[in-house]
Structure 1
Amino acid sequence: MLDIDTTRRRVVDLTDAVRDFCRARQDGLCNVFVPHATAGVAIIETGAGSDDDLLDTLERLLPRDDRYRHAHGSPGHGADHVLPALVSPSVTVPVQDGQPLLGTWQSVVLVDLNRDNPQRTVRLSFLGS
């Protein structure tokens, strides 16, 4: 289990933690899951502007205003509850010889737009083959 603070970053790279978790295992599937109703996990390129592009796109798709029926919390908090329909709360990565089989530019990231709760838990599990 990972404890992540998203106060400063809305997209947090989890790739090194996933690699560390998988290193002691052989072949199988690694599942990365966030047990939160307002966060998700994605596989994207990071460090080349894609993480900022993702945030910009999500802000356009999910504006923080008063249009949402789910209206408690900070302004636009209802958008946070729609996020997991667009950015899944989990991803599964194949693993071979203890190495996640990610592409050259792929990273596993936590995506969290919620300003009301920056403390997140990420659960890692492994299913061996």
Structure 2
Amino acid sequence: MRTTEVTLHTGDRRITDVTDACAAFAADVGGDGLLHVFLPHATAGLALLETGAGSDDDLAGHLDTLLPRDERWRHRHGSPGHGADHVLPAFISPSLSVPVDDGRLALGTWQSIVVVDANADNPRRTLRLSLLAG
């Protein structure tokens, strides 16, 4: 198994496309296998999503409906509504796996791998990529 870590700066973006970083790692390792993508953070998750056609904006907007940034949360440190950030990974998992065929991600035509991060208090993220050869 080969593993690497990628440092991201998400800033105030709620959706950050990491497909290119994942594809570059898979191409570097080569061969067939399974790419495991893991985000070791308590306030962010990963998703397969179509980007650039509005789905990313829809997801970002609906996060506020699902997890409002107000004072209802018991977890209260950080910016207002930060408790919602700690609930996000229960809905959007911090890990996912993608098949790799001959060094290429076997994603669907419109699928991209994205980090979903509503936590502006921590804009620096580490993405851990592991490829298990098959």
Give the TM-score, by structure 1 length. 0.97
Number of matched pairs? 129
Say whether residues 1:10 and 2:23 are aligned partners.
Answer: no
Moved over 2 A (4+): none
Give unpaired runs (5+ residues) of structure 2.
none
Deviations 1:45-89 (A, max 9, x none): 000011010011111000001111111110000000000011100
- 2:6 maps to a residue whose letter is L
Which stretch has the larger CA shift, 5-14 or 105-114? 5-14
Structure 2 counterpart of 1:106 = 111
Alignment partner of 2:130: what SS? strand
Say whether residues 1:22 and 2:26 are aligned partners.
Answer: yes
| Percentage of matched positions with identical amino acids | 62
Alpha-carbon distance in structure 1 between the residues aligned to 2:77 and 2:119: 12
Alignment partner of 1:122: what SS? strand
Alignment partner of 2:51: what SS? coil
Alignment partner of 2:64: what SS? helix
What are the within-5 Å matches in structure 2 for residues 34-53 of structure 1? 34-53=39-58
Which stretch has the larger CA shift, 78-87 or 1-10? 1-10
Deviations 1:1-43 (A, max 9, x none): 1111111421110111111000032111001110000000100
- 2:24 maps to a residue whose letter is D
Structure 2 counterpart of 1:83 = 88
Give the TM-score, by structure 2 length. 0.94
Task: Give the RMSD, CA atoms, in angstroms.
Answer: 0.7
Alignment partner of 2:129: what SS? strand
Structure 2 counterpart of 1:73 = 78
Give unpaired runs (5+ residues) of structure 1.
none
Alignment partner of 1:92: what SS? strand
- 2:43 maps to a residue whose letter is T
